[in-house]
């Protein structure tokens, strides 16, 4: 699995969302590389990990990333949040968890109303076979819908989608299946790790209400809602997201020194 490592300071693992790759975090890398050692992951089947055949399933991916990185705070965006949360719940070497536009469950249920209908991900899976590029572009449009900087963010995501090669169809189907089926809410009450939940106020895929509900299940969780932010708030509001991550990790370091 390909992982770009840059910067200096405390270690921070960054895991991207569906169909993208680690380069999508460039705005955060630019702002944080002088303070953190950043480990930007290309998930299997994506970017420079396109030929990596590791199944896109929680334990396989988490163990592979953990084997290649030192103890760190793990930060996941969208689909990447499922891997980060699973790691925080199962691996002692994860120092803290940051979730960006991500929740432990992405689909709606009787006891989880603030999410999308299961049919949304099923439809994307069906459409991949008949209109691969069009389906990806429609998903990227959902990523930025509602954001105050939607046009600029969509242009950036389209660039990131192709600059390291398109993701494999296998990885895309496995990612959609994970989004549709995963439910990690049970891990939150006993998480035992500090967590930061960053929501976009205008996110149409992961509502702020869902992130607040998830954070309420995790003891001591912090929540930030980025005003006018969409599903990728680190693009149009990079300064605010970078500052929140910096403050969160600094708090962990201060806590470590006090022990």
Q: Are the C-beta atoms of 153 and 95 separated by less than 8 Å?
A: no
Q: Assess whether 203 carries a catalytic annotation.
A: yes
Q: Are the C-beta atoms of 19 and 161 separated by less than 8 Å?
A: yes
d(CA 18, CA 27): 18
DSSP annotation of 166: P
Q: Are the C-beta atoms of 164 and 43 separated by less than 8 Å?
A: no
For the purposes of burial, counting CB atoms within 10 Å of the CB of 10, is it exposed (0-12), middle (13-18) or buried (19 or more)? buried
The one catalytic residue in 2, 46, 203, 237 is 203
Q: Is the dihedral of CA 23, 47, 102, 117 positive or negative?
A: positive
CB within 8 A of 193, min separation 6: which ones? Answer: 88, 94, 95, 96, 97
d(CA 235, CA 25): 8
Ordered alpha helix ranges (H), 69-130: 79-90, 118-128
Q: Assess whether 255 carries a catalytic annotation.
A: no
d(CA 142, CA 51): 27
The one catalytic residue in 39, 86, 231, 237 is 231
d(CA 98, CA 101): 10
The one catalytic residue in 16, 39, 78, 237 is 78
d(CA 26, CA 232): 12
Q: Assess whether 78 carries a catalytic annotation.
A: yes
| Catalytic positions, written as ranges | 78, 203, 231
């Amino acid at each position: 699995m390909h992982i770009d490592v840059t910067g200096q300071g405390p270690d921070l693992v960054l895991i991207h969302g569906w169909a993208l790759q680690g380069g999508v975090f460039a705005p955060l890398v630019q702002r944080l590389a002088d303070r953190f050692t950043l480990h930007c992951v290309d998930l299997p089947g994506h970017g420079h990990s396109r030929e990596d055949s590791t199944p896109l399933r929680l334990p396989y991916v988490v163990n592979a990333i953990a084997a290649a990185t030192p103890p760190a705070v793990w930060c996941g965006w969208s689909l990447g949040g499922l891997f980060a949360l699973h790691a925080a719940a199962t691996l002692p070497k994860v120092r803290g968890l940051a979730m960006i536009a991500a929740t432990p469950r992405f689909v709606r249920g009787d006891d989880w109303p603030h999410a999308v209908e299961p049919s949304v991900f099923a439809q994307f899976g069906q459409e991949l076979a008949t209109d691969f590029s069009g389906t990806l572009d429609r998903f990227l449009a959902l990523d930025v819908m509602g954001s105050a900087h939607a046009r600029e963010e969509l242009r950036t995501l389209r660039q990131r989608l192709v600059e390291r090669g398109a993701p494999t169809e296998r990885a895309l189907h496995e990612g959609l299946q994970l989004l549709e089926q995963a439910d990690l809410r049970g891990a939150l009450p006993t998480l035992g790790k500090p967590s930061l939940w960053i929501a976009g106020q205008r996110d149409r895929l992961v509502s702020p209400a869902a992130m607040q509900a998830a954070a309420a299940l995790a003891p001591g969780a912090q929540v930030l809602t980025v005003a006018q932010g969409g599903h990728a708030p680190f693009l149009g509001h990079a300064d605010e997201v970078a500052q929140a991550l910096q403050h969160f990790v600094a708090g962990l370091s201060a806590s470590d020194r006090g022990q």
